[in-house]
Amino acid sequence: MPIGEVIAHLDASGVAIEVGPAPRTGALGEMTSVYFRDPDGKPIEVSTYWAAPSDIRDRGVTSAGGRR
């Protein structure tokens, strides 16, 4: 899901974004992240990688983030 759609959903749900969207570097490369808190106050990060999903799969990583 594009990060813009994530942000729109959070906004529509009344969730305050604390940080982001912000560029970051993750295990699979460049990504954009937003940070907010769950109802118990714990921080949550949602990220979208800039590479196409097939590019990420070609690196041997599953959709759950684990190695094949």
Work out the percent of the chain whose per-residue pLDDT is above 90.
51
Instruction: Look at residues 27, 21, 30 and name the one whose alpha carbon lies nearest to residue 52.
Output: 30
Model-wide pTM > 0.75: no
First to last CA, the chain: 22
State how far the Cα of 50 lies from the Cα of 62, in Å rounded to an integer.
Answer: 16
pLDDT at position 27, please? 82
Mean pLDDT of the chain, nearest integer? 81
Residue 67 has pLDDT above 50, yes or no: no
